[in-house]
Amino acid sequence: MPYVEPGDTSELAAAVRKQFEQAYDDSPAVVARAPGRVNLIGEHTDYNRGLVLPVALPHATYAAVAPRSDGVVRIASGDSGSPFTGTIDALGPGRVEGWATYVGGVLWALREDGIDVPGVDVLVHGTVPLGAGLSSSAALECSVALAACAVAGVADSPTLRQRLVAACIRAETEVAGAPTGGMDQTVSLLASAGHALLIDFDAGGDATVDVSLPLSAGGLALLVTDTRVQHALVDGGYAARRADCEAAAAALGVASLRQARRSDLATLDDERVRRRATHVVTEIERVSATVSALGGSEWDEVGRLFAASHASMRDDFEISCPELDLAVSTAVSAGATGARMTGGGFGGSSVALVPVARVDAVANAIDTAFAGAGFRAPQHLLAEPSGAAAVVG
Ligand code: GLA
């Protein structure tokens, strides 16, 4: 069974260095990598000041950066997408288009935060599948942010990482125009290998806890299936869900749904808004329950929580789709301990907790089910819990 490979870090760093040299006829000063992520549980809870539990993937974006003395910014990709040329002073909301927005947006946001990034040449290349709900855009933002800071001579530190999380979120929300909640940038910059990252969005910037994920001791692996149904966070569905959550919080008289109690939800008159809020409130409870279950290696309980999370997203939050539902139900019937859709929804990926010996069989069963349903062939990857963004060359 072929899986989407993360690639070897030093080989990919060398490859992006070479692509930089071919594109710009010069050598990069820094190469940094930042991972994509798969969320274990806690979906659409981040912008409701809730809890999330993502894992950094071994798949990452690599950014090669060199400073320039003339204020010019050039952005190119080793994968696809047209290059961008502008100046560092002219970056900002509405000033960059297409995929380069994420890069230009980060350079702008770093300068807004007082980090003196000069003009730069940037080349990016990566192995995070694009548009698969695995945070390829956050990986892009975070790799560029870390490399640009190294070029600007700013030393890496926990405080810097917090600033980079904030800058990458600003790039995504204010420049790229995706009203996302911050989970993806936080895990890309703060994850620890072998762990999931519990993030509490109601407790200030540094509210993260490493949660041990003893998958191999449990004989388990995380199988991610990209349905190849493209999801885009700048489309209306994500923003509409966010608006419903804000409407629910306003109707309940609380600052965010984190403050809502399950027993209050019945007072919401609008049936759709009530279901959206029910998802968020119960999903936050499920994140806490998952952390407890992981602490006791109660994998069957984690599987049960995955199932409840998926049903909640399918029925109450309405962000699943036939391909995701089929990937999840097939994974479970083929032997997964649990499965659910992951990420923003409306396409993208599912994540399954699978006994190691059953991983190929589960992936094959999903392929067969997709072919039988007339769906596009999915692709799979193995999510070995990996570490945060780092300078690698
Ligand atoms: C996307 C967003 C995140 C989060 C998830 C849903 O990945 O970028 O901020 O809201 O969707 O959990």
Following DSSP, what letter does each residue of 97-122 receive, concatenated? -TTHHHHHHHHHHHHHTT----EEEE
pLDDT, tens digit, 9 for 90 and up, residues 20-48:
999 999 999 999 999 999 999 999 999 99
Q: What pLDDT is recorded for position 114?
A: 97
Pocket of ligand 1 (CB under 6 A): 39, 43-44, 46-47, 180-184, 233, 343-344
CA atoms within 13 A on the CB side of 37: 36
Give the whole-angstrom CA distance, residue 294 versus residue 345. Answer: 24
Q: Ligand 1 atom 8: the closest Cα is on which residue? A: 180
Task: State the pLDDT at residue 234.
Answer: 61
Which residues participate in catalysis according to the annotation?
A: 184
Positions in the chain short of pLDDT 70:
205-206, 232-234
What pLDDT sits at residue 216? 94
Q: Whose CA is nearest to atom 5 of ligand 1?
A: 344
d(CA 108, CA 95): 10
**Cα–Cα distance for residue pair 355/337, rounded to 1 Å:** 7
| DSSP for residue 157 | -
CA distance 160 to 350: 32
Q: Which residue, judged by its Cα, is nearest atom 9 of ligand 1?
A: 181
Which ligand 1 atom is nearest residue 183's CA?
Answer: 9
Helix (H) or strand (E) holding 195: strand 195-200
Exposed / middle / buried, residue 330 (Cβ in 10 Å: 0-12, 13-18, 19+): buried
pLDDT at 388: 98
Distance 70 CA to ligand 1 centre (A): 37
pLDDT at position 205 is: 56
Beta bridge partners of 391: 32
Tokens 């329950």: give the residue: 289
Cβ neighbours for 287, distance < 8 A, ≥ 6 positions apart: 41, 42, 45, 50, 51, 52, 53, 198
Atom of ligand 1 nearest to the CA of 47: 10
Asked if 104 contacts 91 with a C-beta cutoff of 8 angstroms, the reply is yes
Dist. CA 225–CA 2, nearest whole Å: 12
How many residues in total does the chain contain?
Answer: 393
Find out whether 52 and 64 touch, Cβ atoms under 8 Å.
no
All structural domains of the chain: 9-211+386-391 (3.30.230.10), 213-382 (3.30.70.890)
Encoded tokens for 346: 């409306």
Q: How far apart are CA 76 and CA 83, in angstroms?
A: 4
DSSP 210-242: EEE--TTTTTEEEEEEE------TTSHHHHHHH
Place of tokens 């009530």: 274
Taking the CA of residue 137 as reference, the ligand 1 atom at the shortest distance is 8
Instruction: For residue 122, give the nearest of 169, 167, 170, 77 by alpha carbon.
Output: 77
Centre a 10 Å sphere on the Cβ of residue 65 and count the other Cβ atoms it contains: 28
User: What pLDDT, on the 0 to 100 scale, is given for residue 365?
Assistant: 98
pLDDT, tens digit, 9 for 90 and up, residues 247-268:
999 999 999 999 999 999 999 9
Which alpha helices (H) appear in the chain, and where do they start and end?
9-24, 100-112, 136-151, 158-170, 183-190, 236-252, 271-295, 299-315, 322-333, 359-373
Cβ neighbours, 10 Å, residue 90: 12
CA of 129 to the centre of ligand 1 (A): 16
Q: Which residues pair with 196 in a beta bridge?
A: 211
